[in-house]
Copies of this chain bind each other. A is one copy, B any other.
Amino acid sequence: MANENEQIILDDEEIFDKDLLDDLIAKENIDGFREEFLALHSYEQSEYFEVSDDDIRQKMYRYLSPDEVAEFFESLEIDEEEYEDLFEEMNAAYASKVLEHMSYDNAVDILNQLSKKKIASLLMLMNREDAKEIKALLHYDEDTAGGIMTTEFISLTINTPVHEALMRVKEQAPDAETIYVIFVVDEEKKLVGVLSLRDLIIAENDTYIEDIMNERVISANVADDQEDVAQTMRDYDFIAMPVLDYQNHLLGIITIDDIVDVMDEEASEDYSRLAGVSDIDSTDDSIFQTALKRLPWLLILTVLGMITASILGSFEETLEKVALLAAFIPIISGMSGNSGTQSLAVAVRNISTGDIKEKSKFKLALRESGSGFLTGITCATSLCFIIIILYGQPYLALIVGTSLTIAMTVGTTIGSVIPLVMNRIGIDPAVASGPFITTINDIVSMLIYFGLATSFLT
């Protein structure tokens, strides 16, 4: 037995034999293809589907039943724009059957990428019950608890005896997203408790659900932000969490696999914004698409950069007197930009992981400014020595050093205060991207540097 067993170890690059599958499809060996393909894990099936071209996909639709396709569509990870094409290629009746067999939350995620017209036509072709459930879920905002929940959960009433409960779970199991968390409701479908399958399995046979359930339920409201839900589920180490309406009726559940996706999304978002790039995960874009997506931001930065240039232009006289001043423009603007980005990152990260409380915001800004001053004065001192040694100009060293210290102090203050203020007035602080802070700091640091130099020279 042990030797027959096919162990798949992480390190293997090839998790399935693509060439074999391609070959079976090319030879139109339906049974052979089905045998090989259906033996794969649904994630591997989705990987094969993703790398295959239209012709192969069309054949796959013919060789596989809608519920077999639905199985791996749950794991599909393609760019949002591609879904439209994907569903155009597919026969509409077949497509609606595929969606019918998917879990509701994933079907809704896909439908959200399609046009209103396409959604309506697909829902029309579905069986009435599934269409109704999916239609209800489509109403919720994609970023809310309602938008990521599914209605396929296991619920019991409080007066169920334990020996009956396992049977009820078994009945509801085929359709449920998870059977490991069981929700307990009263006659009005209000949530009154929760228990794990583990609790149920180790419970004494002669007790009732009411006796073993946990009444202190942590739940999400249907309108809660998905990021907050993710935070709570991580904090509490939940594998599923109930979603309620405003009257405490149980509407659906959110499972840990959705939360993992949310976390990934949010981390990617914060990261992209720090770099000022919106298309970080679109690897398939062409050069033109990439350029087009980045251009708006870069044009704004060009205009902002022109402000810096105009300010420096107005100091032309000073620059003509001491041309060497120009040599230190990059280091002063660069260091103020770098330390500002550090403070920005710390502030944004603390806000988005929820680590920061209202009263400690001021403390954070103060710490960033203070550390900006301390690091500034240290870097400035080293720089002064280097300038005196290299150029023998103590006055230049003094101007550059003082400017660097002030620029880094102000830079860290701007970097931390802007996101904190944005968070305060309800704007997602991550939109204060790295390049934006850097460019603001360019303007400010140049004003400091040349203001100081000019007043020194006159």
Residues in chain A within 8 A of chain B (CB atoms): 1-2, 4-11, 39-41, 43, 75, 158, 166, 169-170, 173-174, 179-180, 186, 188, 190-193, 197-198, 201-202, 210, 215-221, 224, 228-229, 232, 234-237, 239, 244, 248, 256-257, 259-260, 263-264, 267-268, 270-272, 274-277, 279-281, 283, 285-288, 290-291, 294-295, 298-299, 301-303, 305-306, 308-310, 312-313, 316, 319-320, 323-331, 333-335, 337-339, 341-342, 344-346, 349-350, 353, 355-356, 360, 364, 366-368, 370-371, 374-375, 378-379, 382-383, 386, 390-391, 434-435, 438-439, 442, 446
Closest to A360 in B: B283
Q: Which residues of chain B have C-beta atoms less than 8 A from A198's C-beta?
A: 173, 179-180
Asked if A383 contacts B306 (CB within 8 A), the reply is: yes
Asked if B221 contacts A2 (CB within 8 A), the reply is: no
Asked if B170 contacts A201 (CB within 8 A), the reply is: yes
Asked if B355 contacts A283 (CB within 8 A), the reply is: yes
3 closest residue pairs by CB, A with B: A275-B345, A305-B331, A326-B326
Asked if A219 contacts B7 (CB within 8 A), the reply is: yes
Q: Which residues of chain B have C-beta atoms less than 8 A from A170's C-beta?
A: 201-202
Q: Which residues of chain B have C-beta atoms less than 8 A from A341's C-beta?
A: 275-276, 434-435
Asked if B239 contacts A256 (CB within 8 A), the reply is: yes
Interface majority SS (helix, strand, loop, mixed), chain A:
helix
Asked if B260 contacts A224 (CB within 8 A), the reply is: no
Q: List 28 A-B contacts (CB under 8 A).
A: A1-B192, A7-B219, A9-B219, A9-B220, A10-B220, A11-B224, A170-B201, A173-B202, A179-B198, A180-B197, A197-B197, A234-B260, A239-B239, A260-B260, A277-B342, A287-B367, A287-B374, A288-B374, A291-B374, A294-B339, A299-B379, A301-B335, A302-B379, A313-B324, A320-B323, A330-B330, A330-B333, A338-B434
Closest to A248 in B: B7
Asked if B229 contacts A10 (CB within 8 A), the reply is: yes
**Known interface pairs A186-B2, A331-B308; A274-B274 also in contact (CB < 8 Å):** yes
Closest to A47 in B: B235
Q: Which residues of chain B have C-beta atoms less than 8 A from A8's C-beta?
A: 216-219
Given the complex of chains A and B, what is the CA–CA distance between A331 and B371 in angstroms? 27
Closest to A210 in B: B1
Closest to A363 in B: B283
Asked if A345 contacts B267 (CB within 8 A), the reply is: no
Q: Which residues of chain B have C-beta atoms less than 8 A from A383's C-beta?
A: 302, 305-306
Q: Which residues of chain B have C-beta atoms less than 8 A from A302's C-beta?
A: 331, 335, 379, 382-383
A397 to chain B, nearest CB (A): 12
A227 to chain B, nearest CB (A): 11
Which interface residue of A43, A218, A330 has the most chain B CB atoms within 10 A?
A330
A59 to chain B, nearest CB (A): 24
Which interface residue of A288, A295, A305 has the most chain B CB atoms within 10 A?
A305
A276 to chain B, nearest CB (A): 6
